[in-house]
Structure 1
Amino acid sequence: MGTTAYERVLSVAVAALHERDPEQLWPLLAADLPGLCGGDALIYKLEDWNESEGTLGLSPGATAEFTSLGDEDMGVLRAGYPLAGHYASTPDRAPVTAGRVAGRSWPRSRTARLLDELLDVDHVLGIPLPQSTTPITGCMVYRSGRDFTDDELRLAEQLQPLLAAVEQQRQLLRRLNTPSEEAADLALTPRETTVLLLLGDALTAQSIGRRLGISERTVHKHIANIYRKLGTHDRVSAVLHAQRLGLLPTAVGARP
């Protein structure tokens, strides 16, 4: 990854980890990911989705075009030919293009023709979340002209941990209560808040690090900041105080 690309990825990662609204995390990524991968537009698919329903989002440049589609055409795009079938049939989660999966049949497919008419794009790059199972979650990046290069596929693979971390952050932030005014005054960062939630799940610092994709040392730094801001000195008192403030759900003892 070149210095410029690395700096752009780092900038996106920092912005994502400072976003407090979980529903803004993927729109934030969708605005920058296509350019990082050499693409023009992007669709992301989260949680349960199929041809007719489920969480699906678009990059800003594609929103108007996609939202104007009829149900039948939208179902074609939601189906994710041929990438959804490819990832459902293999445990391999390496990024790959539609052209490499479907070969000569890709340009003749209904999906390719629709994308050409809609966005004037010819190629699709699939970037699944590393641990996703059926239905496969992640994103598809679109571009016109030549297909994605080997270097761009390698860059997409380097981006996968970032996508996984952002999705983990989104899921954790969605579990949190809306903080009271007193809790908001504590000024916990979004990352400290997710670490606090996992403390309430009785995870060790090592397990929290694995869950969030950060080092155990970094986790301990977050925990120290949490204790300082809450005015506590141990895990139990921190979790109980956070519950009293309405920051954590009262039934945080069970793991998700």
Structure 2
Amino acid sequence: MNRWNHDFSDNEVGLARHIQPMLQLLDTAYAGNAYRASEIIGGEVYSLTVREQEVMRLLGQGLKGIAIGRLLGCSPRTVAKHLEHAYTKLGSNNRVDALRRLRGEG
């Protein structure tokens, strides 16, 4: 970001420093890389709901349940339930295995 006429004030720089971590988190969360509702990989079809897809996408970007919940406007317990349902549909027991299946790695 920049301005054509003048520099940012000290207050504006301070505010930017304060909100930068959240902006980075949002940038990571919405950087694309989404999975389709019916992902077909290796002959298998995984019918994840849109919300399960969102949770798995954010999980794949390294976010924890609390951060995912904050971004999606739900509780960490709700995120855990979405993960539980996605794991069942993917035939996996943990996040690493689930993400590997979605990415077609095994």
The TM-score bracket by the shorter chain reads 0.5 to 0.7
Unmatched tracts of structure 2, length 5 or more: 1-14, 16-21, 24-28
Tell me which residue corresponds to 2:3: none
Conserved 8 A contact 2:69-2:76: yes
Partner of 2:34: 176
Matches within 5 A, 1:1-256: 171=30, 174-176=32-34, 179-180=39-40, 182=43, 185-244=45-104
Deviations 1:71-111 (A, max 9, x none): xxxxxxxxxxxxxxxxxxxx9xxxxxxxxxxxxxxxxxxxx
- SS of the residue corresponding to residue 203 of structure 1 reads coil
**Structure 1 unmatched ranges of 5 or more:** 1-90, 92-130, 133-168, 246-256
Task: Compare CA radii of gyration and give the structure with the larger one.
Answer: 1
Letter in 2 for 1:190: V
Deviation at 1:211, TM superposition (A): 1.2
Structure 1 residue 203, shift from structure 2 partner: 1.0
Distance 1:176 1:204 in 2: 17
| Equivalent pairs, count | 77
Post-superposition shift, 1:199? 1.1
SS at match of 1:186: strand
Q: CA RMSD in A?
A: 2.7
SS in 2 for 1:180: strand
